[in-house]
Amino acid sequence: MKDHLITEILQEMLPHLNNAQMVQLRATLTRCLAAREVTAHTNAVLSPTHKNNELVHMFIAAKKVEGCSEKTIRYYETTIRRLLSSSDRHLTHLTTDDLRAYLSDYQESRACSRANIDNIRRILSSFFAWLEDENYILKSPVRRIHKIKTAKIIKETYSDEALEQLRDHAEHIRDLAMIDLLASTGMRVGELVRLNRSDIDFERRECVVFGKGSKERPVYFDARTKIHLSAYMDSRTDGNPALFVSLQNPHNRLAISGVEIRLRKLGRRLGIAKVHPHKFRRTLATRAIDKGMPIEQVQQLLGHSKIETTMAYAMVDQNNVKLAHQKYIA
pLDDT in tens, 137-181: 888 999 999 988 876 666 788 999 999 999 999 999 999 999 999
Cβ neighbours of residue 4 closer than 8 Å, sequence gap 6 or more: 46, 93
Dump the DSSP string for 165-219.
HHHHT-SSHHHHHHHHHHHHH---HHHHHH-BGGGEETTTTEEEEE-GGG-EEEE
Dihedral angle of Cα 172, 174, 175, 176, to the nearest 10 degrees:
90
Continuous segment of H or E residues that includes residue 105: helix 96-110
**What is the rounded distance in angstroms from the CA atom of residue 284 to the CA atom of residue 122?**
28
Segments of the chain assigned to CATH 1.10.443.10: 160-324
Record the pTM.
0.68
Q: Which residue has the higher pLDDT, 76 or 32?
A: 76
Q: Which residue has the higher pLDDT, 196 or 115?
A: 196
Is residue 36 scored above 60 in pLDDT? yes
According to CATH, what is the number of the domain 50-150? 1.10.150.130
pLDDT band at 46, cuts 50/70/90?
A: very low
Q: What is the pLDDT, as a whole number, of residue 41? A: 56
160-324 classified as CATH 1.10.443.10: yes
Q: pLDDT above 70 covers what percent of the chain? A: 90
Segments of the chain assigned to CATH 1.10.150.130: 50-150
